[in-house]
Amino acid sequence: MSEDLGERLSRFTPDRGGLDRDSLLFAAGRASARPNRRWVALAGLLAASQVLTLALLLPRPVPPGVVPVANAPAPAALAAPPENPAPPPDEALAAWALWQRHAAGQTELPPPRPVASLRPDAPPLHACLALSEVFPQ
């Protein structure tokens, strides 16, 4: 009969209380996840490269006696061009009459005269200069 009592007692279902299978599975999955530190290493690498770049680009102290001036064109080349003097009134009238005759097909235009007062070509400008031009050794 003791065995019978044991069997009858074992038919009672133990109450699970607050034990929740789903929350337990969730907690187990979260606890088993390995921390991924790759992004930390990547962020550190990027930060280090940023610092290195800033260190290279920061202006260095200039030694005394050296004027940090970039290679500029000669002042003469940058001088203001001389004023183009207006032609005298009779020259203008003669040019107008020549144009009228050319338009009427009576004559040909003379070849242009060379102009001596034009400004010479300046070296082309660049958006980015070489580091050696910014920081002369």
Partner 1 sequence: MMTPQDFGRLVERHGPPLVLYARQWCRAPEDVVQDAFLKLFAQRPPPQEVVPWLYRVVRNGALDAAKLDRRRQRRESAVARPARWFVEPEVDGLDADAAVAALQRLPPEQREVIVARLWGGLSFEQIAGVAGCSASTAFRRFSAGLDALRRALGEPCPKTSAND
Least distance CB 24 / partner 1 (angstroms): 6
CA distances to 17, 66, 77 from 69, rounded to whole Å, are 83, 9, 17
Find the distance separating the first CA and the last CA of the chain, reported in whole Å: 105
For residue 14, the minimal CB distance to partner 1 (Å) is 4
- Check binding of 10 to partner 1 (CB under 8 A): yes
Q: Map the footprint of partner 1 across residues 28-87, applying CB under 8 A.
A: 28-29, 31-32
Return the SS3 of 4: helix
Q: Are 98 and 36 in contact (CB under 8 A)?
A: no
Among 6, 35, 120, 124, binds partner 1 (CB under 8 A): 6
Summarize as ranges the residues that interact with partner 1 (CB under 8 A): 1-6, 8-19, 21, 24-25, 27-29, 31-32
